[in-house]
């Protein structure tokens, strides 16, 4: 009897796994989903990989296939797409979610719950905003080298965040946390179409040496869940300096007809909240270490006084761009993207209770004091400039 | 009658007088009976001697031509006529006195026995001994002049080595025992014989080293061997199947080896060895799971190299067991676990493949098993044909035709090559067989099923015993020093203990300090 029961249990188990399995050639691997505004609600665009083309088996086929459907409900639209797609869309390998600029301006809140809740999505994809265009237009571009455009964008975003500061990757949980937080606002990197032409959505674009490309550059500032504007490249960098999100970047200064380029190898940021005459103020201490990468002219960099002056000049420049960024956030957007509100929350929790409801307005009045300390670490492989007149 | 007898050279065994089926005193009657019982085969030789000078003495020399050494027969006959010359004998002796003369003479010859019943006579006769019967006396003497054709000692065909002795066992127990004996010249080496197989009467030898082997284990194996009741023992595989602890498991519980040095090493670790006449595979036990992933060569190379190779073997065992199952599980259940670029590549390959991954895998693994079996059974001359069919038709063409994906061919190849790394073929068979079960589990439940399978397999392995010793011994139950010689091969000078649970001895195996002192290392003039 016991054995029979055991056998029956095992047999019953066999039917449990059944419906979960799906063959790899029955699924369409979705790389990206773009969400735009349409008349009746959303216009959802799926970018699906065509593995045959990507692996070179059918080089004439387009490497990506777009499925577009509009409707009122996000999940319903996604299922409706099966009308067009021969395969079930598979979301676990998704790289990016792109919001059209229009819909980003109207608010993205209603869409986010779906990405958090739906079990098929992993949480490692990045959110982007199509700058000056629709998500659909961005997704249909076939980019050279890495033909699946969103794989390219994903990689470009990761490398540019590491080696060039003005972008910021943001995943679902960070995005949601920033939206629901009272003292913080999200920023999303913008994706732009460079060099647009009418062949950009066909394999012909791959034949052009200077065809259409996608670029991730500046940051889009959100106030809560609405896009309110774009930071310039310098401001985007400054933003990353202040939130201590710079691993490495490049900067230059002008010093007496010389241009000195330096690579920042360490960029720290310490933020401190203090009370000044009964009013809140923020002190941001930026500490910078850079290597000199290149100079023009005949500056003798081995001279410690000159290095000292170069450092001073860098501090000056950095202070200006950081102040500009803060000023723009305050004046143009009225959005505390730096998370100063959270600092105050931690430093003065009681006081925070009174101001948190109107924080974005309070923020415009908040004095932010930026101090920069720059240190030169290394002069690179040579000391004096190669053009310097020797003694 | 005692079943076990010590091997005693040049000593006549005197057995108690017979009770049933006795030899009569009449020589002719005895010869008639022998002829009748054996059906008067063409290769039996019965020589009746009636020496002229000794009136009344009739004796017969009976042997089976095909089992004996011809030169020995000649010298034996000459010797017998020699001792019957007048100067050696007293005239008018009774047959009993002649019997004693012969017996004393044979003492100096070869291994001889005397007995008095027909059962023993037939056994001796059919074991290649010559029988001496004397008219008027109801006992016989048997002299061992057994000799059959056998191949010479060659390199083992299944257990090759790079470094180490290349001798392999052959199908003759005497030679096999000598190969081990010459490696262990110790008075404690014990050899016990018994005959098994009610029809074949095959000679089985049990070998162990007294004081190193555990007495309980030796008693147990003696008991088990004595309980074997079967008509024939044609290979050591019979013994293995009949005495193993868990009859239904296909994991080998007795190690088989063709290499005398491996057997010697096993004996020195406290195991016993079973030699079966007619089999070139010698069994040793207790053999544990980890033993099947070790080779004698491990001890002849530097310990770090051996450790590396052992780790490699464990990895390969793991691969042979799980690669197809994990591949199926990933492709049908867990596509999110495959890196995107790999997924694209696999998806592109699978484009147009008509079968589900599981069917595809079963098909290819099945074909591989067929190829492997065909490779063993086919006549040597058509070997190249099989490799062409296997490599080209089934590999390349199947992919080109779009019936299987290239990735699957790679998976099958990895599995196949990994399974050949497992040094013991019985273990490799077991691993290959379980692989199919894992594939079914993976196809039904994905990685969940694979892990359930791993749990079940672990439970099963933990349940097994080899002659009473838990199969997974040095790991679970963990023994204090056991893990020194499992995955890691400890240096000889540090591996002082014999495996716990197997050996009954705890005397250290090595007891020395480093002979190269620090002073010698520092002194350049020394060299």
Q: How open is the CA angle A265-A268-A269, to the nearest 5 degrees?
A: 150
Q: At what angle do helices B95-107 and B70-83 cross, to 10 degrees?
A: 130
* pLDDT tens track for A243-291: 888 888 888 888 877 888 888 888 889 988 888 888 888 899 998 888 8
* Distance (Å, whole) CA B427 – CA B436: 15
Structure tokens at A375: 């240190």
- Give the CA distances from residue B443 to residues A23, A24, A80, B357, B407, in Å, rounded to whole numbers and listed in that order: 11, 13, 30, 8, 17
List phi, psi (to 5°) of B16. -65, 150
B292 close to B283: Cβ distance less than 8 angstroms: no
Q: Strand, coil or helix: what is A222?
A: strand
Q: Which residues of A touch B347 (CB under 8 A)?
A: 24-25, 29, 49, 51
Q: Which residues lie across from B127 on neighbouring strands?
A: none
A138 close to A109: Cβ distance less than 8 angstroms: no
Q: String of b and e for A13-52 (b: at least 16 CB within 10 Å)?
A: eeeebeeebbbbbebbbbbbbbbbbbeebbbbbbbbbbbb
Across the range A335-354, mean pLDDT stands at 88
* Distance (Å, whole) CA B441 – CA B466: 28
Pairwise CB contact (< 8 Å): B356 & A18: no
Dihedral in degrees, nearest 10, Cα atoms B466, B470, B476, B482 = -70
Predicted pLDDT of residue A164: 80
Q: How many CB atoms lie within 10 A of CB B82?
A: 12
Burial of B376 (0-12, 13-18, 19+ CB in 10 A): exposed
Residue of chain B whose Cα is closest to the Cα of A64: B344
Sign of CA dihedral B354, B360, B366, B368: positive
Predicted pLDDT of residue B7: 45
Question: Which H or E run contains A83?
Answer: none
Q: Strand, coil or helix: what is B256?
A: strand
CB proximity B446 to A under 8 Å? yes
B68 to chain A, minimum CA–CA distance in Å?
58
Left if phi > 0, otherwise alpha if psi is -120 to 50, otherwise beta: which for B92?
Answer: left
β-pair type (B282-285, B272-276): antiparallel
Sign of CA dihedral A318, A321, A324, A330: negative
Predicted pLDDT of residue B12: 47
Structure tokens at B486: 């499992």
Closest by CA position to A56, among listed A158, A125, A147, A141: A147
Q: How remote is the C-alpha of B68 from its chain's centroid?
A: 26
- Please say if the pLDDT value at position B205 is more than 90: yes
Closest by CA position to A220, among listed A105, A96, A117: A105
* Distance (Å, whole) CA B456 – CA B384: 41
Q: Strand, coil or helix: what is B76?
A: helix
Interacting residues of A362 by C-beta distance below 8 A, sequence separation 6+? A355
CB proximity B453 to A under 8 Å? no
**Percent of chain B whose predicted confidence (pLDDT) is above 90:** 35
Pairwise CB contact (< 8 Å): B445 & A13: yes
Interacting residues of B501 by C-beta distance below 8 A, sequence separation 6+? B286, B469, B470, B473, B477, B479, B482
Pairwise CB contact (< 8 Å): B351 & A51: yes
- Give the CA distances from residue B365 to residues B320, B324, B329, B369, B409, in Å, rounded to whole numbers and listed in that order: 11, 9, 16, 6, 9
Q: Which of A52, A90, A151 sits opposite B351 (nearest CB)?
A: A52
* Distance (Å, whole) CA B6 – CA B12: 12
Across the range B340-356, mean pLDDT stands at 86
B16 to chain A, minimum CA–CA distance in Å?
55
* pLDDT tens track for B174-204: 899 999 999 999 999 999 999 999 888 899 9
Residue that has been written with the tokens 């490398």 in this structure: A159
Tell me what the pLDDT averaged over chain A comes to.
85
* pLDDT tens track for A25-64: 888 888 999 999 988 889 999 999 888 888 777 888 888 8
Q: How confident is the model at residue B218 (pLDDT cuts 50, 70, 90)?
A: very high
Q: Which of A21, A55, A93 sits opposite B340 (nearest CB)?
A: A93
List phi, psi (to 5°) of B270. 100, 10
Q: How many CB atoms lie within 10 A of CB B486?
A: 20
Predicted pLDDT of residue B265: 92
Pairwise CB contact (< 8 Å): B340 & A24: no
CB proximity A20 to B under 8 Å? yes
* pLDDT tens track for A97-122: 999 999 999 988 888 888 888 878 88
Residue that has been written with the tokens 């400054």 in this structure: A238
Q: Which residues of A touch B351 (CB under 8 A)?
A: 25, 51-52, 57
Across the range B134-151, mean pLDDT stands at 83
Pairwise CB contact (< 8 Å): B344 & A54: yes
* Distance (Å, whole) CA A373 – CA A289: 8
Q: Which of B340, B350, B445 sits opposite A24 (nearest CB)?
A: B350
CB proximity A90 to B under 8 Å? yes
Beta strands in chain A (DSSP E): 27-38, 41-49, 64-71, 88-90, 96-100, 126-130, 187-194, 213-223, 226-230, 249-255, 258-276, 279-295, 368-378
Q: How confident is the model at residue B273 (pLDDT cuts 50, 70, 90)?
A: very high
Going from the N-terminus, what domains does chain A have, and what CATH number goes with each?
Answer: 24-230 (no CATH), 234-378 (3.30.300.210)
Q: Which residues of A touch B344 (CB under 8 A)?
A: 29, 49, 51, 54-55
Q: What is the DSSP string of A107-147?
A: --HHHHHHHHH-TT--S--EEEEETTS-HHHHHT---SSS-
Whether the complex's predicted ipTM surpasses the cut of 0.95: no
Q: How many CB atoms lie within 10 A of CB B470?
A: 20
């Amino acid at each position: 009897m016991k054995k029979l029961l055991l056998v029956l249990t095992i047999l019953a188990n066999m039917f449990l796994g059944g419906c979960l399995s799906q063959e790899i050639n029955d699924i369409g691997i979705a790389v990206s989903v773009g969400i735009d505004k349409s008349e009746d609600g959303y216009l959802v665009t799926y970018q699906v990989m065509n593995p045959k083309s990507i692996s070179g088996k059918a080089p004439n086929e387009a490497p990506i296939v777009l499925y577009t459907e509009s409707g009122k409900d996000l999940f319903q639209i996604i299922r409706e797409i099966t009308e067009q797609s021969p395969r079930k869309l598979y979301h676990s390998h998704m790289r990016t979610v792109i919001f059209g600029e229009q819909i980003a301006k109207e608010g993205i809140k209603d869409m986010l719950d779906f990405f958090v809740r739906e079990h098929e999505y992993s949480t490692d994809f990045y959110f982007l905003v199509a700058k000056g265009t629709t998500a659909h237009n961005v997704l249909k571009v076939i980019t050279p080298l890495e033909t699946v455009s969103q794989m390219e964008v994903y990689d470009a975003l990761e490398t540019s965040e590491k080696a060039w500061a003005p972008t910021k990757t943001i995943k679902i949980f960070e995005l949601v946390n920033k939206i629901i937080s009272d003292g913080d606002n999200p920023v999303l990197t913008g994706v732009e179409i460079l060099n647009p032409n009418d062949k950009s959505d066909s394999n012909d674009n791959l034949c052009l040496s200077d065809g259409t490309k996608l670029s991730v550059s500046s940051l889009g500032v959100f106030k809560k869940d609405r896009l309110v504007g774009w930071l310039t490249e310098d401001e985007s960098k400054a933003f990353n300096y202040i939130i201590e999100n710079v691993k490495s970047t490049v900067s230059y200064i002008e010093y007496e007809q010389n241009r000195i380029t330096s690579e920042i190898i360490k960029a720290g940021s310490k933020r401190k909240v203090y009370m000044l005459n009964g009013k809140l103020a923020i002190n941001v201490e930026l500490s910078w270490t850079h290597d000199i990468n290149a100079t023009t002219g005949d500056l003798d960099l081995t001279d410690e006084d000159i290095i000292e002056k170069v450092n001073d000049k860098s501090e000056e420049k950095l202070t200006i761009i950081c102040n500009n960024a803060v000023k723009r956030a305050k004046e143009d957007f009225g959005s505390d993207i730096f998370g100063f509100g959270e600092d105050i929350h931690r430093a003065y929790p009681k006081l925070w209770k009174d101001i948190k409801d109107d924080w974005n307005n309070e923020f415009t009045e908040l004095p932010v004091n930026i101090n920069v300390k720059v240190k030169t670490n290394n002069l690179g492989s040579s000391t004096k400039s190669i053009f310097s007149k020797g003694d | 009658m005692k079943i076990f007898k010590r091997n005693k050279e040049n000593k006549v065994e005197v057995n108690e007088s017979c009770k049933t089926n006795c030899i009569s005193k009449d020589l002719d009657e005895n010869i008639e009976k022998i002829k009748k019982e054996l059906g008067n085969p063409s290769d039996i030789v019965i020589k009746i001697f009636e020496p002229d000078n000794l009136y009344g003495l009739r004796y017969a020399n009976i042997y089976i031509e095909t089992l004996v050494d011809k030169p020995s027969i000649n010298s034996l006959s000459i010797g017998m006529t020699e001792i019957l010359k007048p100067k050696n004998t007293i005239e008018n002796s009774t047959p009993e006195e002649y019997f004693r003369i012969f017996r004393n003479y044979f003492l100096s010859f070869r291994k001889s026995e005397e007995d008095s019943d027909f059962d023993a006579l037939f056994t001796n006769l059919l074991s290649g001994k010559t029988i001496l019967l004397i008219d008027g006396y109801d006992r016989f003497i048997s002299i061992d002049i057994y000799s059959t054709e056998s191949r010479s000692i060659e390199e083992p065909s299944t257990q090759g080595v790079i470094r180490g002795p290349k001798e392999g066992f052959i199908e003759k127990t005497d030679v096999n025992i000598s190969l081990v004996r010459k490696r262990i010249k110790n008075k404690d080496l014990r050899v016990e014989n018994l005959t098994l197989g009610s029809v074949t009467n095959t000679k089985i030898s049990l070998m162990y080293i007294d004081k190193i082997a555990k007495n309980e284990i030796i008693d147990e194996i003696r008991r088990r061997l004595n309980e074997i009741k079967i008509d024939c023992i044609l290979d050591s595989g019979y013994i293995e199947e009949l005495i193993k602890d868990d009859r239904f498991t296909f994991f080998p519980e007795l190690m088989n080896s063709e290499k005398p040095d491996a057997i010697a090493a096993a004996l020195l670790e406290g195991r016993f060895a079973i030699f079966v006449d007619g089999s070139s595979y010698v069994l040793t036990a207790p053999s544990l799971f980890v033993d099947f992933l070790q080779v004698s060569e491990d001890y002849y190379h530097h310990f770090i190299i051996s450790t590396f190779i052992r780790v490699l073997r464990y990895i390969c065992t793991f691969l042979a067991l799980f690669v197809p199952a994990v591949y199926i599980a990933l492709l049908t259940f867990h596509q999110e676990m495959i890196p995107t670029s790999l997924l694209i590549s696999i998806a592109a390959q699978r484009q147009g493949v008509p079968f589900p991954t599981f069917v595809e895998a079963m098909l290819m693994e099945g074909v591989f098993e067929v190829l492997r079996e065909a490779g063993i059974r086919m006549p040597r001359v058509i070997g190249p044909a099989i490799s062409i069919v296997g490599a080209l038709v089934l590999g390349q063409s199947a992919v080109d035709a779009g019936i299987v994906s290239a990735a699957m061919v790679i998976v099958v190849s990895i599995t196949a090559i990994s399974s050949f790394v497992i040094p013991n073929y019985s273990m490799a068979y077991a691993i290959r067989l379980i692989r199919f079960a894992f594939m079914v589990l993976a196809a039904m439940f994905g990685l969940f099923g694979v892990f359930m399978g791993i749990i079940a397999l672990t439970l099963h392995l933990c349940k097994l015993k080899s002659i009473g010793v838990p199969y997974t011994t040095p790991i679970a139950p963990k023994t204090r020093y056991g893990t020194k010689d499992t995955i890691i091969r400890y240096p000889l000078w540090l591996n002082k203990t014999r495996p716990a649970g197997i050996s009954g001895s705890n005397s250290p195996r090595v007891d020395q300090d480093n002979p190269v002192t620090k002073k010698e290392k520092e002194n350049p003039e020394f060299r």
